[in-house]
């Protein structure tokens, strides 16, 4: 066998050996419960445990943010952080100028008092999750309220609003519970403004399970 | 053939050896310049196996769609029957994720592969090629598996070409078949726990023209 033909044969053999290998999925670590618990009594008192996420056909989620205290910028940063949690295009959102067509409305206003509050210090926020006529429907637009607790001219609310914007968008994406780990952005009183490994694994799992709820617009 | 005889004949007296070497050069060089050096251009399509295989709930595959490709190359005669050359292949196409039969488009990715190769004859108009080099992935958007940008990886490949002479001479019609393999792993995949690269196999079929240099 001549030298070039020997090289050709050796390379072919090497390529065939490489072709035999395969790679397993990485281990993703822990996650927390994200599902909503809804009591119902059509066949006696029961609790349904439901999961929700925006489906590919509903993306990008349209978000209208009140142009106060840099709220649109906080929401844009929150979108980027959550999008970065996904590898396979599971979530996308855009800011829109028309609140009438929005799936999610973000206002800076006083707390109505019956949502999912997050209070990291200088501000508070909440997301109203409204399951309407049947427990398998979610009313949209979802409303997020951001509420600076101090006078914005005295205490800069921006760092706090940055954290709660990401936290509340996590609720609007379908994380209907709080994490029990202070390092997670979905902890009830979050300090982190970036999703942790547990946050990421939670939303990854959530977005790869069938959604039990359908968004409906009245 | 001349090279083999030359090497075996060097136990002759030094003067005769030098003379024979000069004679060999005189005979070999014009052949090399006129008949073997070449450059070429071809267009075709490239298909590839999975870039990523993962499982969160159900298995997820990420792969490139069949992509149009353009190939340019040049080769110089290294030995009377063999050429060494550089080949560039550029391809641009979509890539997508598939899970439980549902496909999600993830954007566009461009690849540029540069290989240094050696080619030689199989039969009269058919030649083999062996190459190694680099492949660079350039995503249209830095997101998902490319959140931290593209990646550059080594590449090894095999190929075959068929040439059909055209008039005027020096021009050939060319059909190229290329197969290559490279490991694929991005910084974002590594940061998410993928510790091993996945080997991606690509097959390119293209047609074009080649010209022999004078």
Give A63 to chain B, closest Cα distance, Å: 20
Is the N-terminal amide bond of B207 cis, ω within 30° of 0? Answer: no
| Average pLDDT in chain B | 85
Say if residues A64 and A94 touch (Cβ distance below 8 Å).
no
Q: Which of A6, A16, A23, A195 to mutate to test the interface with B (most CBs of B within 10 A)?
A: A23
Measured CA distances, A148 to A18, A119, A121, A180, A187 (Å): 58, 10, 9, 24, 19
Task: Answer whether A86 sits within 8 Å of B197, measured CB to CB.
Answer: no
Q: Quick one: average pLDDT of A18-31?
A: 73
Look at A57-61, A67-71, A156-160 and tell me which has the smallest mean pLDDT.
A156-160
Q: Quick one: average pLDDT of A203-216?
A: 93
Task: Answer whether A56 sits within 8 Å of B102, measured CB to CB.
Answer: yes
Confidence of residue A115 (pLDDT cuts 50, 70, 90): low
Residues in chain B, overall count:
214
Task: Answer whether A89 sits within 8 Å of B145, measured CB to CB.
Answer: no
Q: Quick one: average pLDDT of B185-201?
A: 94
Measured CA distances, B197 to A85, B108, B139, B148 (Å): 21, 21, 18, 16
Task: Answer whether A11 sits within 8 Å of B158, measured CB to CB.
Answer: yes
Q: Which of B 140-199 lie inside 8 A of A, CB atoms?
A: 143-145, 147, 156, 158, 179, 181, 188-189, 192-199
Q: Taking 70 as the threshold, does the pLDDT of residue B17 lie above it?
A: no
| Average pLDDT in chain A | 85
Q: Which of B3, B54, B55 to mutate to test the interface with A (most CBs of A within 10 A)?
A: B54
Structure tokens at A175: 């994380």
Q: Taking 80 as the threshold, does the pLDDT of residue A112 lie above it?
A: no
pLDDT for the residue B139: 96
- List the helix and strand counts (H, then E) for chain B: 3, 10
Residue A14 with chain B: CB contacts under 8 Å: 156
3-state secondary structure B36-80: HCEEEEEEEEEEECCCEEEECCCEEEEEECCEEEEEEEEEEECCC
Structure tokens at A195: 């999703």
B52-103 per-position pLDDT tens digit: 999 999 999 999 999 999 999 999 998 888 999 999 999 999 999 999 999 9
* C-beta neighbour count of B198 within 10 angstroms: 20
Stronger pLDDT, B22 or B91, i.e. the higher one: B91
pLDDT for the residue B37: 87
Look at A120-124, B72-76, B123-127, B161-165 and tell me which has the smallest mean pLDDT.
A120-124
Say if residues A137 and A151 touch (Cβ distance below 8 Å).
no
pLDDT for the residue B26: 39
pLDDT for the residue B47: 97
Confidence of residue B1 (pLDDT cuts 50, 70, 90): very low
Task: Answer whether A12 sits within 8 Å of B60, measured CB to CB.
Answer: no
pLDDT for the residue B29: 41
Q: Taking 50 as the threshold, does the pLDDT of residue B8 lie above it?
A: no
Stronger pLDDT, B7 or A17, i.e. the higher one: A17
Q: What interface predicted TM-score (ipTM) does this complex get?
A: 0.82
pLDDT for the residue B3: 35
Confidence of residue A143 (pLDDT cuts 50, 70, 90): very high
Q: Taking 70 as the threshold, does the pLDDT of residue A1 lie above it?
A: no
Say if residues A57 and A90 touch (Cβ distance below 8 Å).
no
pLDDT for the residue A3: 58
Residue B106 with chain A: CB contacts under 8 Å: 88-89
Task: Answer whether B55 sits within 8 Å of A25, measured CB to CB.
Answer: yes
- High-pLDDT (> 70) share of chain B, %: 82
Task: Answer whether A88 sits within 8 Å of B130, measured CB to CB.
Answer: no
Chain B's closest residue to A23, CA to CA, is B198
* A214-216/A137-139 β-pairing: parallel
Say if residues B18 and B12 touch (Cβ distance below 8 Å).
no
* B83-99/B102-123 β-pairing: antiparallel
Q: Taking 70 as the threshold, does the pLDDT of residue B204 lie above it?
A: yes
Q: Taking 70 as the threshold, does the pLDDT of residue B114 lie above it?
A: yes
* A104-108/A61-65 β-pairing: parallel
Q: Quick one: average pLDDT of B96-125?
A: 94
pLDDT for the residue B170: 80
- High-pLDDT (> 70) share of chain A, %: 80
Q: Coil, strand, or helix at residue A189?
A: coil
How many Å from the N-terminal Cα to the C-terminal Cα in chain B?
23
- Would an 8 Å CB–CB cutoff place B62 in contact with chain A? yes
C-alpha span between A210 and A89 (Å, rounded): 16
CA B143 from chain center: how many Å?
28
Measured CA distances, B153 to A24, B31, B32, B112, B132 (Å): 20, 37, 34, 11, 11
C-alpha span between B150 and B144 (Å, rounded): 11
Q: Which residue has the tokens 């694929």?
A: B184
Please, how many CA atoms are within 13 Å of residue A38, restricted to the half-sphere of its CB? 22
pLDDT for the residue B34: 36
C-alpha span between A174 and A168 (Å, rounded): 10
Task: Answer whether B106 sits within 8 Å of A83, measured CB to CB.
Answer: no
- List the helix and strand counts (H, then E) for chain A: 4, 9
* Chain A residues interacting with chain B (CB cutoff of 8 angstroms): 4-5, 7-8, 11-12, 14-15, 18-19, 21-28, 56, 83-84, 86-90, 204-205, 208-209
Q: Quick one: average pLDDT of A193-203?
A: 95
Q: Taking 50 as the threshold, does the pLDDT of residue A60 lie above it?
A: yes
Confidence of residue A24 (pLDDT cuts 50, 70, 90): confident
CA B175 from chain center: how many Å?
13
């Amino acid at each position: 066998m001549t030298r070039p033909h020997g090289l050709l044969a050796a390379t072919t053999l090497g390529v065939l050996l490489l072709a035999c290998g395969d790679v397993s999925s990485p281990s993703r670590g822990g996650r927390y419960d994200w599902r909503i618990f809804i009591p119902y009594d059509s066949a006696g008192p029961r609790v349904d445990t439901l999961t929700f996420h925006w489906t590919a056909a509903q993306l990008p989620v349209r978000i209208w943010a009140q142009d106060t205290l840099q709220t649109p910028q906080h929401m844009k940063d929150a979108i980027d952080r959550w999008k970065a949690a996904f590898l396979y295009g599971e979530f996308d959102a855009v800011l829109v100028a028309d609140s009438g067509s929005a799936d999610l409305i973000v206002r800076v206003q006083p707390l109505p008092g019956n949502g999912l509050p997050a209070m990291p210090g200088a501000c508070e926020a909440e997301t109203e999750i409204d399951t309407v006529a049947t427990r398998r429907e979610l009313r949209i637009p979802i409303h997020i309220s951001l509420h600076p607790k101090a006078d914005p001219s005295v205490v800069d609310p921006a760092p706090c609003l940055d954290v709660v914007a990401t936290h509340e968008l996590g609720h609007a994406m379908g994380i209907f519970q709080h994490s029990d780990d202070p390092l997670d952005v979905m902890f009830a009183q979050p300090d982190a403004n970036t999703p942790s490994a547990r946050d990421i694994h939670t939303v990854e799992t959530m977005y790869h399970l069938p959604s039990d709820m359908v968004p409906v617009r009245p | 053939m001349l090279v083999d005889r030359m090497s075996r004949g060097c136990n002759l007296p030094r003067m005769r050896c030098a003379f024979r070497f000069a004679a060999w050069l005189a005979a070999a060089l014009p052949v090399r310049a006129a008949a073997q050096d070449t450059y070429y251009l071809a267009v075709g399509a490239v298909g590839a196996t999975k870039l990523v295989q993962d499982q969160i709930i159900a298995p997820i595959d990420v792969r490139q769609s069949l992509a149009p490709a353009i190939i340019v190359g040049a080769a110089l005669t290294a030995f009377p029957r063999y050429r060494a050359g550089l080949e560039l292949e550029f391809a641009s196409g979509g890539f997508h994720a598939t899970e439980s039969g549902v496909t999600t488009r993830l954007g566009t990715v461009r690849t540029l592969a540069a290989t240094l190769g050696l080619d030689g004859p199989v039969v009269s108009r058919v030649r083999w090629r062996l190459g190694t080099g680099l492949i660079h992935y350039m995503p249209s958007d830095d997101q998902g598996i490319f959140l931290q940008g593209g990646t550059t990886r080594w590449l090894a490949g095999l190929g075959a070409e068929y040439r059909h002479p055209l008039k005027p001479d020096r021009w050939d019609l060319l059909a190229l078949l290329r197969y290559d393999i490279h490991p694929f792993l991005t910084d974002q995949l590594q940061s998410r726990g993928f510790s091993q690269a996945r080997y991606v196999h690509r097959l390119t079929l293209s047609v074009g023209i080649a010209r022999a240099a004078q």
